[in-house]
Amino acid sequence: MFWLVESLARLPPRERIQFSPRPRNPARPTLTPMLVFDQLRKADPQLRLLALMLCVGLAILSAGLWWVQVVHAREFQSQLEYQSSRTVRVPSLRGKILDRNGKVLAENRPSYNVNLYLEDLPPQFRAEYQRLAPRQIVTNRVPFWRRWLGASNVTTQYVKLDAIQKSNLTWQVRFNVASNTINEVATRLQQPRALDFADFQKHYQQRLALPYPVLKNLNDVQLARFEEQFSMTPGIDLDVQSSRIYPFETTAAHLLGYVRHDDSSAEGEFADFYYRLPDYRGQVGIEGGYDAELRGRAGAKTVLINNHGYRQTESVQEYAEIGKQVTLT
Q: Tell me, what CATH number does 211's domain have?
A: 3.90.1310.10
246-260 residue pLDDT tens: 998 888 888 999 999
Smallest CA-to-CA distance from 245 within 92, 105, 99 is with: 105
Is 267 a member of any domain? yes
The tally of CA atoms less than 13 A away on the side-chain side of residue 12 is: 2
| Chain length of the chain | 329
pTM for the predicted model, two decimal places: 0.65
Question: Which residue would you say has higher pLDDT here, 152 or 230?
Answer: 230
- List the domain range (segments joined by +) for residue 254: 82-327
121-143 residue pLDDT tens: 989 999 999 999 988 877 777 67
Round to whole Å and give the CA distance between 117 and 208: 9
% of the chain beyond a pLDDT of 70: 80
Residue 190 backbone zone (phi > 0: left; psi -120 to 50: alpha; other: beta): left
Looking at the structure of the chain, the number of domains it has is 1
Smallest CA-to-CA distance from 211 within 230, 193, 236 is with: 236
Question: Which residue would you say has higher pLDDT here, 128 or 46?
Answer: 128
Highest mean pLDDT among 10-14, 61-65, 196-200, 269-273: 196-200
Is 112 a member of any domain? yes
Residues 182 and 212 sit within 8 Å (Cβ to Cβ) = no
DSSP 71: I
Is 76 a member of any domain? no
Average pLDDT over residues 88-113: 91
Round to whole Å and give the CA distance between 186 and 199: 18
Is 17 a member of any domain? no
Residues 258 and 283 sit within 8 Å (Cβ to Cβ) = yes
Residues 173 and 129 sit within 8 Å (Cβ to Cβ) = yes
Is 3 a member of any domain? no
Is 69 a member of any domain? no
3-state SS class at 231: coil
Is 20 a member of any domain? no
Position 168 scores a pLDDT of 94
Position 5 scores a pLDDT of 47
Backbone angles phi, psi at 89, to 5 degrees: -85, 125
Question: Which residue would you say has higher pLDDT here, 152 or 78?
Answer: 152
Is 263 a member of any domain? yes
Residues 247 and 104 sit within 8 Å (Cβ to Cβ) = yes
